[in-house]
Amino acid sequence: MSTIAVRAEAGDAGADRRAEAAGPEAMRRRGIDVDPALLTLTSEQEELRGIVADFVAELSGPDDVRRHAAFPGGYDPALWRRLARELGLAGIAIPAEYGGAGGSFTDLAVVLQEAGRGLLCAPLLSTVVLATSALLASGDERTCRQYLPGIADGSVVATLAGTAGRAGSSDTGARREAAGWRVDGTYDFVLHGATADVVLLPAQTEEGLGLFAVDGNAPGLARSARTVLDPTRPQAALRLADVPATLVGPPDEGAAIVDLALDIGRAALAAEQVGAVEHALHACVAFVSHRHQFGRPIGSFQAVKHRLADLLVELEGARSAARYAAACVDAAPAELPVAASVAHVACSEALELAAREYVQLHGGIGFTWEHPAHLYVRRARADAVLFGTIGRHRARLAALIGIGGRELEGDAARD
């Protein structure tokens, strides 16, 4: 776990104390030990939020989203370059030595929340979160130098395969030849997999599971885009036959790297989900305040307003869980597995409720193709199973706090 420790030490001086405090008993009884200040936005983050929100509102409205999703890669490459270069969003949490802004994950979470609010079509989760986290977690400086500057300036789109559990990958294998590594196997449900410039993937080596980087146009790599439930987040199936690859990190660290990248991915997904819940709630409040039936706004009926109050309760709970998970990525790595699973459960459930209410409280208009509500239904259901279902995360939490259950850790990669 040496590579993980690199990241943990970078966190803060209290990490040792927290690692000790995060045993099953302590997690069960106390649950949380982070600086409360990390759960609220700084004034700089508020400013960042405003800038990104304006950008998303102007260039990624509901009609734009449909147009962007129809691009071959599922996003508008020109818009992505602007986001990366003008706003510096792609490199916000990448260390300065690799061409990024050297910000924190909580900074990135602010961006993700606003992206999630507008269902922004962009390779944020695949490239900026999963692939970047895997590269940094690997501790492989040479590979980081090779890809991270390109990710930071928007010229490289990368993704991480093998994140979808048992159904996601099979028959993977890597062998060392004189000219370098060759990889075989199939990987499914790979985010932005059909168009990514580089694919990171775990494959079985003689020493264990290793992480490899494969060029998107490598000979022997067949990629087919899947028809997807959520058109704003494309997925692809990859088949590799004797594909040249580069080993990333030690040949037995793949599982640990993917596990950490997945937990960071869950924290990122949670931030996006909070933005989407907020959008749905505000859209519903605006609609029921103006829509009249029986001679009064339908929002004045208690049956309607209490449903929205319940959604507000879920939103604030989800926001708290998402901020806690983001804070753990930066400052409490020992608590991250628990925080990531808690955030995944809380935020997935909140967004599923929000999407349901989005349709229901808009009545007939909410059930039409033209209305954006179904885009949020699609996002909600797809997100909830993207990095492990709610049920599997509950089982993982049960194991982490010592009440039975089964660890999820590693099975994404090892299954």
Partner 1 sequence: MTDTGSGVPPPEEFRAEARRWLASVAAPRADAAAWGTGTDSVAVFENWSPEEEREHTDRIRGWERLRYDSGWGALAFSPDVGGRGLPGHYEHLYRSEEAAFEVPRRTEVFPVTQQLIAPAIAIWGTPEQQTRWLPPMLRTDELACQLFSETEAGSDLASVRTRAARDGDGWRLSGHKVWTSGARVATWGAAVCRTDPDVPKHAGITVFLVRMDAPGVTIRPIRQMTGGESFNEVYLDDVVVPDGDRLGPVGQGWRVTQTILAAERLDSGTLGLDNAAAALELAAHLDRPLSGAERDRAAQLFVRTVVQRALGLRVTATLAAGRQPGPEASVGKLHATRTLRETTDLVAELLGPQLTADTGAWGTFAWTEHLLGAPGYSIAGGTDEIQRTILAERVLGLPREPARGAAS
Residues that bind partner 1 (CB under 8 A): 24-25, 28-32, 34, 36-40, 281, 285, 288-289, 296-297, 299-300, 302, 304-306, 308-310, 312-313, 316-321, 323-324, 338-339, 342, 345-346, 391, 394-395, 397-398, 401-405
Residue 40: phi and psi, rounded to 5, are -125, 155
Beta carbon of residue 347, minimum distance to partner 1 (angstroms, whole number):
10
What does the alpha-carbon distance between residue 241 and residue 173 come to, in Å, rounded to a whole number?
A: 10
CA contacts within 13 A on the Cβ side of 113: 26
Least separation, in Å, of the C-beta of 356 and partner 1?
A: 18
Q: φ and ψ at 206, to 5 degrees? A: -65, -30
Nearest to 18 by CA among 3, 38, 42, 44: 38
Please report, in angstroms and rounded to a whole number, the separation of the first and last CA atoms in the chain. 19
Per-residue exposure over 275-286, b if at least 16 CB sit within 10 Å of its own CB, e if not: bbbbbbbebbbe
Give the shortest CB-397-to-partner 1 separation in angstroms. 4
Q: Are 269 and 383 in contact (CB under 8 A)?
A: yes
- 209-215/221-225 β-pairing: unpaired
Alpha helices in 1-61 (DSSP H): 2-11, 15-21, 24-29, 43-59
Smallest distance from partner 1 to CB 292, Å: 10
Between 305 and 371, name the residue whose CB sits nearer to partner 1: 305
Q: Closest CB to partner 1 among 152 and 342?
A: 342
Give the residue with the Cβ less far from partner 1, 4 or 39: 39
Nearer to partner 1, 219 or 295 (CB): 295
Classify burial at 227, counting beta carbons within 10 Å of its beta carbon; exposed 0-12, middle 13-18, buried 19 or more: exposed
52 close to 110: Cβ distance less than 8 angstroms: yes
Q: How far is the CB of 110 from partner 1 (least distance, A)?
A: 15
Rounded least distance, CB 353 to partner 1, Å: 13
Query: Angle 321-323-324 (CA atoms, 0-180°, nearest 5)?
Result: 65
Question: Looking at beta carbons only, is 81 or 305 nearer to partner 1?
Answer: 305
Q: Which is nearer to partner 1, 31 or 244 (CB)?
A: 31
394: three-class secondary structure by DSSP:
helix
> Which residue, 190 or 408, has its beta carbon nearer to partner 1?
408
Least distance in Å: CB of 364 to partner 1? 21
Nearest distance in Å: CB 317, partner 1 = 4
Cβ proximity to partner 1: between 257 and 322 the closer is: 322
Q: Give me the least distance between CB of 37 and partner 1, in Å please.
A: 5
Contact criterion met (CB below 8 Å) for 414 and 203 = no
Distance CA 254, CA 413 (A): 8
What's the closest the beta carbon of residue 126 comes to partner 1, in angstroms? 27
β-bridge mates for residue 245, sequence order: 181
Angstrom CA distances, 329 to 232, 310, 351, stand at: 26, 29, 22
CB-nearer residue toward partner 1: 305 or 381: 305
Kindly tell me which of 79 and 318 has the beta carbon lying closer to partner 1: 318
- What kind and span of H or E run contains 329? helix 302-331
